[in-house]
Structure 1
Amino acid sequence: MAREIALLRRLGEHDNVVRLHGLVTSRLATAPSLYLVFEYMDHDLTGLVSAATASGTRFTLPQVKCYMKQLLSGIEHCHNKGVLHRDIKSSNLLVSEDGILKIADFGLATHFDPDNPRPMTSQVITLWYRPPELMLGTTHYSVGVDLWSVGCVLAELLLGEPIFPGRTEVEQLHKVFKLCGTPADDYWDKLKLPHHTFKPYERCMAQKFKDLEPSTLSLLETLLSIDPDMRGTATDALNSEFFRTEPHACEPSSLPRFPPCKEMDIKLKYEKHKRKLRANGSVERQTTTRKPISQNHGRRRVFTPDVNNRPHGNPKIPRLVTSTSTTKLERFPPPHLDASIGHSIDSSADVTTNEFFSSSVVELKKMPSLLFGHVKSYLNSPKKGMHKAKPSLTMAPSTVLIGAFRPYSLGHPMEVRRKNRDQLRAKGKIPVGLVK
Structure 2
Amino acid sequence: SFFKTSYVLSALDILQPPQIDCFEEIYVITELMQSDLHKVIVSPQMLSSDHIKVFLYQILRGLKYLHSAGILHRDIKPGNLLVNSNCVLKICDFGLARVEEPDETQHMTQEVVTQYYRAPEILMGSRHYSNSIDIWSVGCIFGELLGRRILFQAQSPIQQLDLITDLLGTPPLHAIRRACEGAQAHIMRGPHKAPSLSVLYMLSDEATHEAVHLLCRMLVFDPVKRISAKDALAHPYLDEGRLRYHTCMCSCCFSVASGRVYTGDFEPTAVPKFDDSYEKNLVSVWQVKELIHRFILEQQQGSRVPLCINPQSAAFKTFIRSTAWHSSKVSKKDER
Tell whether the structures are fold-level matches, with TM greater than 0.5. yes
User: What residue in structure 2 maps to residue 353 of structure 1?
Assistant: 301
State the match for 1:81 in structure 2: 69
Change (3 A) 1:151 1:238: same
Aligned to 1:224: 219
* 1:406-425 alignment runs, 5 A limit: none
List aligned pairs for 1:47-58, cutoff 5 A. Answer: 47-51=39-43, 54=44, 57=46
- 1:22 Cα deviation after fit: 2.5
**Are the structure 2 counterparts of residues 370 and 127 from structure 1 closer, same or farther at C-alpha, using a change threshold of 3 Å?**
same
The question of whether the paired residues in 2 share the 8 Å contact of 1:30 and 1:375 is answered with no
The residue number in structure 2 matching 1:5 is none
Counterpart of 2:185 (choices 192, 196, 200) is 196
1:152 aligns with 2:102: no
Where does 1:277-288 land on structure 2 (aligned, <5 Å)?
none
Root-mean-square deviation over aligned CA pairs: 3.5
**CA deviation after TM superposition for structure 1 residue 43, in Å:** 1.1
Residue identity matched to 1:196: A
Q: Secondary structure at the match of 2:27?
A: strand
Taking structure 1 as the reference length, the TM-score comes to 0.55
Partner residue in 2 for 1:383: none
1:271-311 CA-to-partner distances (Å, cap 9, x unmatched) read xxxxxxxxxxxxxxxxxxxxxxxxxxxxxxxxxxxxxxxxx
Give the whole-Å Cα distance in 1 for the aligned partners of 2:123 and 2:18. Answer: 38
Q: Would the alpha carbon gap of residues 48 and 30 (structure 1) be closer, same or farther in structure 2, given more than 3 Å must change? A: same
Equivalent position of 1:46 in the other structure: 38
Percentage of pairs with the same residue? 28
Aligned to 1:206: 198
Give the C-alpha shift of residue 107 in structure 1: 0.6
Residue 98 of structure 1 aligns with an amino acid whose one-letter code is N
Unaligned runs of 5+ in 1: 1-8, 256-341, 378-391, 394-436
1:98 aligned to 2:86? yes
**1:250-281 Cα shifts (integer Å, max 9, x gaps):** 448979xxxxxxxxxxxxxxxxxxxxxxxxxx
Matched, 1:128 2:116: yes
Pick the structure with more helix per residue: 2
Cα deviations by residue, 1:215-235 (Å, 9 ceiling, x for unpaired): 111110010111111112100
Q: Structure 1 residues 376 and 253, CA, compared in 2 at 3 Å: closer, same or farther?
A: farther
Residue 376 of structure 1: how far off its partner (Å): 7.5
CA contact (8 A) 1:117 1:140 kept: yes
Distance 2:22 2:242 in 1: 55
Distance in 2, matches of 1:216 and 1:116, equals 33
Any residues of structure 2 matched to 1:390-405 within 5 Å, and which? none
**Structure-to-structure mapping, 1:64-79, within 5 angstroms:** 64-79=52-67
Change (3 A) 1:247 1:145: closer
Unaligned runs of 5+ in 2: 250-291
For residues 375 and 173 of structure 1, do their structure 2 counterparts lie closer, same or farther at Cα, with a shift above 3 Å needed?
farther
Distance 2:138 2:310 in 1: 43
Distance 2:146 2:169 in 1: 21
Asked if structure 1 preserves the Cα contact closer than 8 Å seen for 2:200 and 2:212, the reply is no
CA distance in 2, matches of 1:360, 1:141: 44
Verify the 8 A CA contact 2:22 2:327 in the aligned structure 1. no
| Aligned-partner Cα distance in 1 for 2:241–2:63 | 23
By how many angstroms is 1:15 displaced?
Answer: 1.1
Are 2:33 and 1:33 equivalent residues in the alignment?
no
Would the aligned equivalents of 2:22 and 2:326 in 1 still touch at CA under 8 Å?
no
Shift of 1:183: 1.8
Contact 2:54–2:244 under 8 Å retained in 1: yes
